[in-house]
Amino acid sequence: MRTSRRLNVRAAPLVALFASVSVASDLDCLHCRLESWAWRQHVGDRSGHFDEATGRDRRNYPPHRWADHGRMTLELFIQDMDVPVAQATQTLTITPIAEPLEELRLDARLLDIRSVSVNGFPARFTNDGRHLRVALAPPLPPDVPATIVTTYVINDPPDGLFWTPSSPAWPGRPPQIHTQGQPETNSYWFPCHDFPNERLETEIIATVPAGFLVSSNGRLLSQRRSVRRVTDASGASSLRGYDTFHWLQDKPHVNYLVSLVVGKFDVVDVGRPGLPMPVYVPPGRGPDVRGTYGRTAEMTALFERLFDEPYPWDRYAQLVVWNFGAGGMENTAATTMFDTAIISPEALIDHDLEGLISHELAHQWFGDLITCNSWDHIWLNEGFATYLTALWFEHSRGRDAYDASVLGGFDAVIARDNAVAPLQPAMVSREYTEPWDVFRRAANPYPKGASVLHMLRRKLGDGAFFRAVGLYVDRYKGRTAETDDFRKILEEVSGESLERFFHQWCYRPGVPRLRVRTTWNSSAAELRVDVEQMQNIDERNPAFVFDLPVLIRVRNEGDWRRLHVDGRSATLSIPLAAEPDMVAIDPNLEVLASIDVDAPSGWLVEQALRGPTHASRVLAVRSLGTLDTDAPGTTALHAIASDRARHRDLRSEAVRALAARRAPDAARRVVSLDPDDPYVRETVLAAVADCASGDAPPLGRDAVADRLAHAALHDASSRVRAAAVRGLARMNAVDRLPVLLAALEIESQHDTVRQAALGALADLDQPDAISHSVRFTRVGTLSRTRAVAIGVVGRLGKHDPDIALNAILPLLEDREMRARNAAGEALVTLGDARAVERLEALAATARDPAIADRFRRWADRLRDNPATD
């Protein structure tokens, strides 16, 4: 049967966004960022780069570098790991550039500056809680190094340096300290030029209570034990043992990459001779390190070979820390990882972190050895790191895994990068309110940056592409770079002019939205391919220019054509000896575009089963999911879904496509699936729940609810359990509440099952689920789970505002940033105006303007839309 329908094969729904980016690994970093992005949505990325009232340009430009920073030596004394105070002495060498320097201005947020001396002489200084200004009298002459010594106290900063003290609610968990400097938060614990256009050597000499480990950038020069007499808060003085760790990073790097971690860990080295790669994990988890991080050395060797540049630093440490606000942070030679970034043996069946591990490792070259000169060029960090994950998958799992990773990036961009100039900024744009915005913008540097690199590789060919990237590394190592620096090297190596390419994919927002119609005219024996650009086209957003590859297969013979598109529409007409059995549009993903294909279903079935690439097979499967119930399509989808030899992503797509048909036959085929691969089984349970939900469900509810309830409590895979729990909520299976409450008690990797159960309780909107959720909002629960639980209390609070308010209000001052953010959002969701007063009081007393702003915004949003009833 021939049918033809408009279908959009390249626009995965947002929910799949995370899944598609890197199905195979638990890519937490994106989720966290988006989580906190949700809060900042109200701030938004639309800084509006022009101030109407003053006529001012509000775009962001790098700060001046009046002096070159040579080396920072930071001596820290942490008397008590449970008391968030540290004494510090910073010695900074600077060399004024060009002119005598009369004042040195450093970023210094909320530091208690005690003294400053210049070349050994006391200096006058001001400290407004945001900048340290040192008067240089006499002015420091240019080109002559000078030494600035600053003594100060770090007092429990709200950002940058985080204390996770021991707590009775978490018996046995030793206290810990970690830092997070990106984008501009290391100035919360040391004065610096807190912007990426300054590189310097750094040296950390940290003295901490005996028995704690200290990790920092570079190499460890020494570690020694000492005894000190100290006086505690009660005035009691005692002799205590301390350890002093002396770290040196003598290859210049940027300030946001400076790292300090203090804690108790199992440390296991996964490195190679001459390059130690210690992994720091919570005590008792050492035996799990190799299962999670065991391929780090292999990844390193791959990247060294691909870019012909040896790993640049003294060691490569990976540190799993509590209460970490992201997924991973690529500090120089010492990556910080989120708190559950260590996979238990039983969870290795359905969890791995290779996506995240290879991403952060890639940054050691792209981000650390070469750093973007300013935040608008952040894709040079994040795009490369995301793309190198795809290269690792290509190397370690094959071409299909590479395609799956690239396609995931395409999906993410197509789903979000859907506005045009000037409505939203481009990937490379100085328009942002605060630096974090550039990491979260719709033209997102992670997936869009990686997609641009993939397109360049396809465009220039492997030889020229990898040679150019190698030359870029060689020329810019130890320096900062901008987008055009990279472009020029690509042009130099390939001879191809790339200004238009970079303009349309990096300097303007949006992507082409194509409608492609493929038709066979049997009387004229002619194939027609008509392409239309459907996005808004105007002077600021002209039609995209690209060559669209088309693979035509006739009697098993493949014939490649390229259709040049540079306007609203273009057509390709080809006389053929016989009707094709498949016409695949852009099977190698050479054009980052959303593509609606109108094609005979028979061609799609052929492409789904025997398309030339993983990407082309997935795209055909998606299209079949939007077609009415043609038997060949259903049969093909079922065959793909049950075929263990096929890539798990393709099988999952086939399951979703079957479910999307909402036809009894297709649904019966879905319910018959019980794949052994937990990733596919997870998709099957979600699809089965879909088929038993909504109006006129093709599947009977009870049987499905039984299956889901059993899987939620007994499946070996926590992914599958979580999917079963979400499925019960999807079906609104209120009668299965006991299963959800039981799922709350299940320990699983990343607390996946508990978080799913919390979300399901909120979706089922059960009043008596509040008390169950409140329990998980407190210290003693993983910080991510706390954030989920707090959100749930906010959603269910309408049933008992008092309980909700009493549970949430105190969390506005919680030690964990994630809990504080979730509490503010939950109050807005709850909509109880009684919280406004507390928020305003906190805004009035907050030390940090950024924190005060946050409280004020929550109060404004709450005031603007209080709960109606």
Residues that bind Zn ion (CB under 5 A): 382, 385
Angle between helices 664-671 and 648-660 (to 10 degrees): 140
d(CA 669, CA 635): 9
* Smallest separation (angstroms) from Zn ion to the CB of 292: 18
Spell out the long-range contacts of 463-469 with Cβ–Cβ below 8 A and sequence spacing 24 or more.
Answer: 464/490, 464/493, 464/494, 465/490, 466/306, 466/307, 467/493, 468/492, 468/493, 468/494, 469/306, 469/307
Q: Which of 382/832 has CB closer to Zn ion? A: 382
Q: Which of 476/520 has CB closer to Zn ion? A: 476
What residues form DSSP beta bridges with 779? 781
Q: Using the 8-state DSSP alphabet, how is residue 286 labeled? A: G
Q: Which of 322/366 has CB closer to Zn ion? A: 366
* Smallest separation (angstroms) from Zn ion to the CB of 27: 11
Distances (CA, A) of 669 to 625, 626, 673, 681, 753: 14, 17, 7, 14, 27
**Can the peptide bond before residue 447 be classed as cis, meaning omega within 30 degrees of 0?**
no
CB 658 within 8 A of CB 690: no
170-191 CB burial, b ≥16 within 10 A, e <16: eeebbbbbbbbbbbbbbbbbbb
Query: Is residue 315 classed as helix, strand or coil in its secondary structure?
Result: coil
* Smallest separation (angstroms) from Zn ion to the CB of 381: 6
Query: Is residue 502 classed as helix, strand or coil in its secondary structure?
Result: helix
* Smallest separation (angstroms) from Zn ion to the CB of 364: 11
Q: Which of 177/385 has CB closer to Zn ion? A: 385
What residues form DSSP beta bridges with 366? 370
Q: Which of 428/552 has CB closer to Zn ion? A: 428
> Helices (H) and strands (E) in the chain — how many of each?
28, 32
d(CA 591, CA 458): 10
* Smallest separation (angstroms) from Zn ion to the CB of 452: 16
* Smallest separation (angstroms) from Zn ion to the CB of 29: 7
Q: Which of 444/752 has CB closer to Zn ion? A: 444
Q: Which of 357/627 has CB closer to Zn ion? A: 357
The sign of the dihedral angle between the CA atoms of 470, 473, 476, 478 is negative
* Smallest separation (angstroms) from Zn ion to the CB of 153: 32
* Smallest separation (angstroms) from Zn ion to the CB of 8: 29
Q: Which of 361/744 has CB closer to Zn ion? A: 361
Q: Which of 382/690 has CB closer to Zn ion? A: 382
* Smallest separation (angstroms) from Zn ion to the CB of 355: 11
- For the sheet containing 334-337, what is the strand order? 266-269, 278-281, 317-320, 334-337, 328-329
* Smallest separation (angstroms) from Zn ion to the CB of 209: 33
Q: Which of 364/541 has CB closer to Zn ion? A: 364
* Smallest separation (angstroms) from Zn ion to the CB of 363: 6
Which residue's Cβ has the minimum distance to Zn ion?
385
Q: Which of 317/796 has CB closer to Zn ion? A: 317
* CA proximity to 654, closest of 668, 629, 635: 635
Residue 183 makes CB contacts below 8 A (sequence gap 6+) with: 256, 375, 435, 436, 438, 439
Query: Is residue 97 classed as helix, strand or coil in its secondary structure?
Result: coil
